Structure 1
Amino acid sequence: MWKIAKQVAHAGICTQAPPESSEALRVAAQQIHAELLAILGQALAIRQVDAGSCNGCELEIHALNNPYYNIEGLGIKFVASPRHADLLLVTGPVSRHMEEALRRTYDATPAPKLVVAIGDCGCSGGIFGESYASCGRVSNVIPVDVAVPGCPPPPMEILRGILTAVRQGKAGEVS
């Protein structure tokens, strides 16, 4: 124990400095919030579905809820039921055991439904591809509006994918 305490005292606390507060980030957040309200007229409700991922993408999605990104402050919230969702956020290659559950979740989501596939596995099947145990990409099971590649994609890319889906959904609603 003394050896560890001595090592900590010698090395000090090794952490990064917090990110600088950016006026541009604050203005961007206000614009995103205003755009969501203009398009939807309400907060965006997301149902996240893990269809068989390694949880790398889920960690990045959870990072969106931390105080740095604060997506709840932007008017984006996660809900427990697909019946309350505007958008499905799906991660991982769809395992055969999750295929029916994903379809039922999609069917339970009220129209207009938006689906965002997250990560290389959700977009292309990743290293798992299609096999006896995996259906592969999310679009093999349900229609996908936006795909966000990366292994795992950073939180800002996930947020861009969500906003792209909302913008496309509104454009598709108008035409």
Structure 2
Amino acid sequence: MFTTLKNRFEQGYRTCDYPNEKPAVFERYRGKPMIKKVVSPDLVKMCANACPQDAIDIEQEKIDMGRCVFCGTCERISKGEFVTFTRDFETATAGKQDLLTNGNLPALAEHSKQHFKKLFGRSLQLRQVSAGGCNACEADLNVLATPFFDLARFGINFVASPRHADGVVVTGPVSKNMKTALLQTYEAIADPKVVIAVGSCAITGGPFRGSPEITEGGLDSILPVDLFIPGCPPHPLTNLHALLTFFK
């Protein structure tokens, strides 16, 4: 115990002050994309053709963050004249259609379901299911339990059993081999419950979109999704912002 107290005294307070203050992210971090209003149609088409995820809508000149893996190809090709990726990590939405964006997103708090806030505002227990993911999204969810993010201080915890949970957090493209397990986990959670899709794989299939081995259409094709958190993987602060804004 004395060693623990000594380490605590030497290291000081390490927990970030978010949401009271936004912590800085790395300069090379790619967050919310911003679309330039005046741009050559040929440049838009060039970026769309180069996009590995087919995430650029040529007609609307928007990016689908549900498909985007934030590789930055469009920004490099256009040299920032069409797309620039900001360091804004607050990108979650309550509607999948809102992920198709020119950089403007609806305020998440205004679109959150108020009865969820009343039910889970002081305590939210979540069961995480990796439905065929690469472990990147899972890793960035796990770090929310570290002292820097300290998710538990907000009354939000990940639990081992779905019968102890208020909702399910799904990562991965929902492979055929995981679909039954996911549905059984969902059924084991008592009503009312929430469903959260984390990462481009869960939202649209990500790099595996179109594969016969995954569920076509994303998680919302088989479960009613309440919250979409885009990214490949989403930054831990993106996850933290989404959970706090939607439920707190």
**Does the alignment reach a TM-score above 0.5?**
yes
The answer for the alignment partner of 2:136 in structure 1 is 56
Partners of 1:59 and 1:84 in 2: how far apart?
22
CA deviation after TM superposition for structure 1 residue 26, in Å? 7.5
Contact 2:19 2:241 in 1 (8 A): no
Task: Name the aligned partner's letter for residue 213 of structure 2.
Answer: A
Equivalent residues in 2 for 1:75-90 (5 A)?
A: 75-90=155-170
CA deviation after TM superposition for structure 1 residue 131, in Å? 2.6
Q: 1:68 to 1:22 in 2, by over 3 A?
A: closer
Partners of 1:99 and 1:165 in 2: how far apart?
26
CA deviation after TM superposition for structure 1 residue 43, in Å? 2.0
Partners of 2:16 and 2:207 in 1: how far apart?
40
Partners of 1:41 and 1:59 in 2: how far apart?
25
CA deviation after TM superposition for structure 1 residue 71, in Å? 0.6
Query: Any idea what SS the aligned residue of 1:77 has?
Result: strand
Equivalent residues in 2 for 1:17-28 (5 A)?
A: 24-25=17-18, 27=20
Partners of 1:47 and 1:141 in 2: how far apart?
17
The answer for the alignment partner of 1:152 in structure 2 is 233
Contact 1:119 1:150 in 2 (8 A): yes
What TM-score do the two structures reach when normalised by structure 1? 0.71
Higher helix share: 1
Query: Any idea what SS the aligned residue of 1:49 has?
Result: strand
Alignment RMSD, CA only?
2.6
Say which is worse superposed, 42-51 or 93-102, in terms of deviation: 42-51
Contact 2:14 2:148 in 1 (8 A): no
Number of residues paired by the alignment?
142
Contact 1:64 1:70 in 2 (8 A): yes
Query: Any idea what SS the aligned residue of 2:181 has?
Result: helix
Contact 2:137 2:171 in 1 (8 A): yes
Contact 1:119 1:153 in 2 (8 A): yes
1:98 aligned onto 2:165: no
Query: Any idea what SS the aligned residue of 1:106 has?
Result: helix
Match for 2:198 among 111, 118, 128? 118
The answer for the alignment partner of 1:45 in structure 2 is 125
Partners of 1:74 and 1:37 in 2: how far apart?
13
Partners of 1:155 and 1:23 in 2: how far apart?
12
Say which is worse superposed, 89-98 or 157-166, in terms of deviation: 157-166
CA deviation after TM superposition for structure 1 residue 74, in Å? 1.6
Query: Any idea what SS the aligned residue of 1:153 has?
Result: coil
CA deviation after TM superposition for structure 1 residue 73, in Å? 1.7
How many percent identity over aligned positions? Answer: 41
Partners of 2:184 and 2:124 in 1: how far apart?
21
Match for 2:145 among 54, 65, 73? 65
Any gaps of 5 or more consecutive residues in structure 2? 1-10, 22-115
Partners of 2:117 and 2:193 in 1: how far apart?
17
Query: Any idea what SS the aligned residue of 2:148 has?
Result: coil
CA deviation after TM superposition for structure 1 residue 140, in Å? 2.0
Query: Any idea what SS the aligned residue of 1:58 has?
Result: helix
Contact 1:115 1:144 in 2 (8 A): yes
Contact 1:56 1:152 in 2 (8 A): yes
Q: 1:163 to 1:131 in 2, by over 3 A?
A: same
Q: 1:83 to 1:98 in 2, by over 3 A?
A: same
Q: 1:24 to 1:66 in 2, by over 3 A?
A: closer
